[in-house]
Structure formats: C-alpha cells, structure tokens
Homo-oligomer: A and B are copies of this chain.
C-alpha cells in the first residue's frame, strides 16, 4: 500500500475543472464488506481522483450495495478503456458486480415519443438547447403530425408514425418505431406524454431504458383521466410522476414526483394546465438525473443519489 499512500498525500498539483477529464463510475452488487475500499483503492492505484461519491446499502440485510463515483483522470479519453478493462477483471468480476463507466461530458442519445401535448416535449428540447440537459435528441416520434414544425425548428428530426386501430396496426407501428429508434443508436427513450401504451415486446426490444411521465401522483389515479378523477375526489394537491416504463402499466420504478396545490375553484381544465407545469418539471429532473447516472434501480424502486 506504500505507493498508494504516498500518492494520496501528495497535494493535488494541478487541480482541474476540465469536464473532459471527469467520468462517472456506478457499481451495484450484493452488499459485502470492503467494496468501497476495493473500488476506491482501484481508482487511486490508477491515478483516478474521486471528486464526489455516494454510497448506500438497501434492504434489511444481505441487501444491495449501490455506489456512484465521479472521478478525475488525466487524459481521460485515452485512459478510460484500459481503466475499464482493468476494473472488469480486478474488481467487478470477483465481486459479481454490475458497473458502468461514463465520461461526464458524454451526451445521452435520446429519442422522445409524443402525441399532441407539446409541453413536455418542447421543454425537453428547449432545456437541451440551453445546455441544461446532457442529451442529444436524435429523434422525435409521434402518432400525430401536429408538432412537426415545432420540433424541426430545433433542428431535430421528427417522424410521424400513425398508430391505427387494432393489434395488427399497433404491432406494425411499433415495428417501425423500433427500427427508427434502434437505427439511431438510442440510449434513452422518453415518453413525453405519449398517449399510447407500448407493448412488453417493444420495451424488451428497444434496447434502452424508457422513462415515462404520468400525470398524477402515483399510485393515486393510475390509469386514464387522472385530472378528472382528481377533481371528482376533491384532492387539494395534484402531481406528476416520472418512472421507468415496465410491462405493468404505471407500476414501474418511480424516479421523481412532485405536486402543486389546487383548490375547489380549479376546473378540470385548470388542473390540467397546472399539472402540465409539474409534468414538464418532473420529467426534466428525471431525465437529467438518469443521464447523470444518479438513478439506480432497486427492484421496484429507485435509489436516487
């Protein structure tokens, strides 16, 4: 350990803010003693300096271990492949751990599905343009042509794939969607108020996580028409929920939720309008956190660092 120690105490001679030399490492495994030590020693031995780290263990015991580290490495682009290979052999394999390395500067190739509501979609496009979201929107897919001009004004491809009635039409549409999405190297699919249910087959085949925004504070008002049902029930707060889409509709792991206060004066239209503000905000947070590797799935729930 001598070498490690002497490196450790040497002052950081050239502190850097260079984001091109920052990367993230995420590790999940069965909890065991010494995992943090192994991972952090590995990084120290490879001259990677930990800038930020979060670690947690869930479950009553024998639970899951979750670790997210941001580290600095000189000449990251050149060094990362070797680091990754060494990590796989020296750390991940012995621990039986899942892991991923990702440069902080990398942008997530994202396909967005929408229908007619524009608020979530436009908000994602605008935040991306402002540099708030570390994504490239590589494709917008919609079952309606309405938003084509808005999307193209951002320089983003828009494809109208109508979804006909009946199972066959839906299957055909999904086939086209899958081709399109997989054809552009999509790393993330965002359902920005896409008003169609995607099949289990689609979710399995798309090869990327799918984030959905539901216009209620789940599990309240799961399913259709949440604002009408909220009005009927007379709730005093309405909300929105961003979650990973799974086969079980509205049951996927929740990433983020928020609510806004309403009163008896609010009509269903007003609830819809106020809810739209929450939907776009919650969805943007969920996408940002996902792309920042801060969201780790733990069974039916998430760890959000």
Q: Which residues of A contact B (CB under 8 A)?
A: 1, 4-5, 7-12, 15-17, 30-38, 40-41, 43-45, 47, 49-58, 60-63, 94-95, 118-119, 122, 126, 130, 132, 153, 217-221, 232-237, 239, 253-254, 256-259, 261, 263-265, 273, 277, 281, 298, 300-304
- How far, in whole Å, are A12 and B33 apart by their CA atoms in the complex? 6
* Residue in B45, B60, B304 whose CB lies within 8 Å of A264: B304
**A235 x B218 contact (CB < 8 A):** yes
Chain A to chain B: the 10 pairs with minimum beta-carbon distance, closest first = A234-B301, A8-B34, A15-B61, A37-B44, A33-B49, A220-B220, A34-B44, A37-B40, A53-B55, A36-B40
Chain B residues with Cβ under 8 A from A61's Cβ? 12, 15-17
Minimum Cβ distance to chain B for residue A17 (Å): 6
> How many chain copies does the complex carry?
4
Chain B residues with Cβ under 8 A from A119's Cβ? 126, 130
**A233 x B219 contact (CB < 8 A):** yes
Closest residue on chain B to residue A63 by CB atoms:
B15
Minimum Cβ distance to chain B for residue A1 (Å): 7
